[in-house]
C-alpha cells in the first residue's frame, strides 16, 4: 500500500511497513520511516551532520510537526549521549521561547533500533537564515529577537541548565517573529560533575574562559554567546569569525581590548594567565565607531555582554531590564 507525501510534481510516496503500523518514505535518497499517525505531505525542511528533518502532519492533532531523523544514532558514543541529553532536558521544559519536544517515535522492532526519530513543533526558519537573507532588520526586530532569547535563557538558567551552544542557527523562528531556543544536545545541568570537560560552543560564539580552557564556568558563557548574536543581527556578519583558538582570542581582544591583570582573576591556571599576558596587546575600540548603525541602547548592552572577565559580565536578568528601558 502506498501513501502520497504531496501532490503534483516532486511528490514523495510512502510504502507501508510492519503490518501497516509504519510508513517508509524515500526523501531524496534518505529512508524516512515514521509511525502511521504522521501523514503526508512529507517534505524535507532541513539537514545537518545528524541527518535530515522533515515536516509532516500529525493526523491525531491535525498540527504540522518537524521530525528529525538521527541515523545510526548509537554508532558514536558522544553523539548518542548528545541525543539522549536533548531528549531528557526538553521533556522537562515548558516555555514559549524553548522548542517543544512533541514525541519520540518508537522503533518498529527493538532489536533493530538504529535510528532515532524526534518530533518537535514546526518552525519556519532560523535566525542564521534570516541574517543571511535580504530581509530588512531594524532595531525593533533586534530588540524583539533578543528579548525572547533572553527570556528563554532565563528560564533555562533557572533550571540550573547551561545551553552551551547558542548561535543563530539554533534559534528557530516562525513568520510572526516568535523565537524559540533549540538544540539542547550540548546543554548540561550545573550539578553534573563532568560537565566542564566536553566540547562546547561553536568557536565563533565561545567565551574567553572557554577558549582558555577554564575548568569551571557559569551561565556567563551563554551571555557571551548572546552578545555575539546581538552584534551579528545588527551587522549581518559574525563578530568574531576566528579560524582557530589563537585567531579567535585575537579578534576578541582587538575589539574589547586586551585584559589587564584585574580581569584575569577567574583564571586559576598560572599557565593560562601567562599565556594571555604574552599575547599582542590591543586597545579597546570605541563601539560607537565600530558599530555606527547600532542604537546607543544596543551598544550599551553589547558592551556589558562582551566583557572578558565572566564575573563582570552582565546577567540575563539585567539584560532583560535594559531591553525594557530601551523600549
| Active site positions, annotated | 165
Instruction: Collect all residues with Cβ–Cβ distance below 8 Å to 107 and sequence separation of at least 6.
Output: 113, 114, 115
Rounded CA-CA distance 34/16 in Å is 10
Annotated binding site for ATP: 69
Residue 129 CB-half CA count within 13 A:
13
Distances (CA, A) of 51 to 34, 48, 68, 106: 15, 5, 7, 18
Cell numbers for 311: 564575573
Residue 24 CB-half CA count within 13 A:
11
Residues 221/203, Cβ–Cβ less than 8 Å: no
Q: What angle do CA 85, 206, 254 make, to 5 degrees?
A: 175
Residues 252/240, Cβ–Cβ less than 8 Å: yes
Q: Classify residue 181 by burial, with Cβ atoms within 10 Å: 0-12, 13-18, 19+.
A: buried
Please identify which residue in the block is written with the cell numbers 524553548: 98
Amino acid at each position: 500500500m502506498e501513501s502520497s507525501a504531496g501532490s503534483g510534481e516532486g511528490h514523495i510516496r510512502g510504502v507501508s511497513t510492519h503490518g501497516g503500523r509504519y510508513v517508509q518514505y524515500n526523501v531524496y535518497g534518505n529512508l524516512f520511516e515514521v509511525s502511521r499517525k504522521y501523514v503526508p505531505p512529507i517534505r524535507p525542511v532541513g539537514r545537518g551532520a545528524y541527518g535530515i528533518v522533515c515536516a509532516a502532519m500529525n493526523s491525531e492533532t491535525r498540527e504540522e510537526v518537524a521530525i528529525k531523523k538521527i541515523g545510526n544514532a548509537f554508532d558514536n558514543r558522544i553523539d548518542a549521549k548528545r541525543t539522549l541529553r536533548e531528549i531528557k532536558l526538553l521533556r522537562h521544559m515548558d516555555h514559549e521561547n524553548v522548542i517543544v519536544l512533541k514525541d519520540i517515535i518508537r522503533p518498529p522492532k527493538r532489536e533493530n533500533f538504529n535510528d532515532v526519530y524526534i518530533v518537535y513543533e514546526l518552525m519556519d526558519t532560523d535566525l542564521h537564515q534570516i541574517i543571511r537573507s535580504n530581509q530588512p532588520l531594524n532595531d525593533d526586530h533586534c530588540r524583539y529577537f533578543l528579548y525572547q532569547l533572553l527570556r528563554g535563557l532565563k528560564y533555562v538558567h533557572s533550571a540550573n541548565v547551561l545551553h552551551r551552544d547558542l548561535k543563530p542557527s539554533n534559534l528557530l523562528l516562525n513568520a510572526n517573529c516568535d523565537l524559540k531556543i533549540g538544540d539542547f544536545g550540548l546543554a548540561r545541568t550545573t550539578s553534573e560533575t563532568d560537565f566542564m570537560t566536553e566540547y562546547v560552543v561553536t568557536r565563533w560564539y565561545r567565551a574567553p574562559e572557554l577558549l582558555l580552557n577554564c575548568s569551571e564556568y557559569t551561565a556567563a558563557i551563554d551571555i557571551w554567546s548572546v552578545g555575539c548574536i546581538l552584534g551579528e543581527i545588527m551587522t549581518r556578519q559574525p563578530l568574531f569569525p576566528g579560524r582557530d583558538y589563537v585567531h579567535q582570542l585575537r579578534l576578541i581582544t582587538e575589539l574589547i581590548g586586551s585584559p589587564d591583570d584585574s580581569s584575569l582573576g577567574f583564571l586559576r591556571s598560572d599557565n593560562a594567565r601567562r599565556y594571555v599576558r604574552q599575547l599582542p596587546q590591543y586597545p579597546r575600540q570605541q563601539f560607537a565607531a565600530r558599530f555606527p548603525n547600532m542604537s546607543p541602547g544596543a551598544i550599551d548592552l553589547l558592551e556589558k555582554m562582551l566583557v572578558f572577565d565572566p564575573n563582570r559580565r552582565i546577567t540575563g536578568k539585567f539584560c532583560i531590564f535594559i531591553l525594557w528601558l530601551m523600549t
